[in-house]
Amino acid sequence: MMKIKVKEIRPGSLPERHGDWVDLKAGLTVKYNKGDFVMIPLGVAMRLPQGYEGHLLPRSSTFKKYGVLLVNGTGIIDNAYAGNGDEWHFPVFATRDGVIRKGERIAQFRAVPVMKSVKFSLVSDLDGPNRGGFGSTGR
């Protein structure tokens, strides 16, 4: 079993394991207007095990309930982001006015092994067929 050290910066914010991912809660109540960019504090700082990074995504119901979108597609929490004051946040864009109340589960994360070291080899030919360009496969 993986052990993750967690510091509760805002009471009532401890992560909860539901299914394959770990749910994260709003660390405080946040009111927003359509078009706002909001950094929602998640109320915790964590130290992931050596060799792991965190992948942060919205829960499946987050957009439907709150009308917010994670602005960077996937949040990547680097292993070194692990100090006592390194509170995790959920950066979102609001598509409508709304409120997320403290303690509501809005995000989910999982610990993922970091990529092993990589050495790039410059070549003139990749030895593979062209597949039609970006966004053209799977017709």
- Which tens digits make up the pLDDT trace of 36-66? 999 999 999 999 999 999 999 999 999 999 9
pLDDT tens digits, 26-44: 999 999 999 999 999 999 9
Mean pLDDT of 109-122: 95
> Could you say which of 20, 36, 78, 86 is catalytic?
78
Q: What's the one-letter identity of residue 65?
A: K
List, in order of start, the domains of the chain with CATH numbers: 5-113 (2.70.40.10)
pLDDT of residue 131: 73
Which tokens belong to 35? 């078009």
pTM of the model: 0.86
pLDDT of residue 137: 60
78 is catalytic: yes
Cβ atoms of 45 and 6 closer than 8 Å: yes
| 65-74, 76-85, 124-133: segment of lowest average pLDDT | 124-133
Beta strand 52-58 with 105-113 is: antiparallel
Mean pLDDT of 110-123: 95
